[in-house]
Amino acid sequence: MMEKWKNTERQGELARQFPSLILKQAKKVWQWAVELKDGRIWTFYILSALQWLPTKARQLKGQERDTRCQNCLLREADDLQHIFRCPVLREHHNQ
């Protein structure tokens, strides 16, 4: 599966940059999901690793609309990288 991800243009960016980290994280996330009996953890990890999270920039791709984050004052594009930097979401990351 990892080799197929690496061959994709956009979805394989993280797999190409951090191949061993993705595998280590996947193992930990899988363990957490099984221990907590919560498949949403695993689903979120897969969607974020493939850059398929429904961010505003992804949903409005190719349209002439404002794709900046409406939650914070940074006014950055609401994409996967911003999700991890957004101060409004900091509490969720800490959990």
User: Number of folded domains in the chain?
Assistant: 2
**One domain for residues 84 and 95:** yes
**One domain for residues 67 and 48:** no
**One domain for residues 1 and 22:** yes
Average pLDDT of span 59-67: 69
Three-class SS of residue 43?
helix
Please give the pLDDT value at position 76: 83
Percent of the chain, pLDDT > 90? 13
**One domain for residues 4 and 47:** yes
pLDDT beyond 80 at 4: no
State how far the Cα of 24 lies from the Cα of 34, in Å rounded to an integer.
16
**Overall residue count recorded for the chain in this entry:** 95
pLDDT beyond 70 at 58: no
Tell which residue, 30, 21, 79, has the closest CA to residue 53.
79
DSSP summary character for residue 10? S
Residue 68, classified by CB atoms within 10 Å of its CB into exposed (0-12), middle (13-18) or buried (19+), is middle
Domain enclosing residue 28, as ranges: 1-52
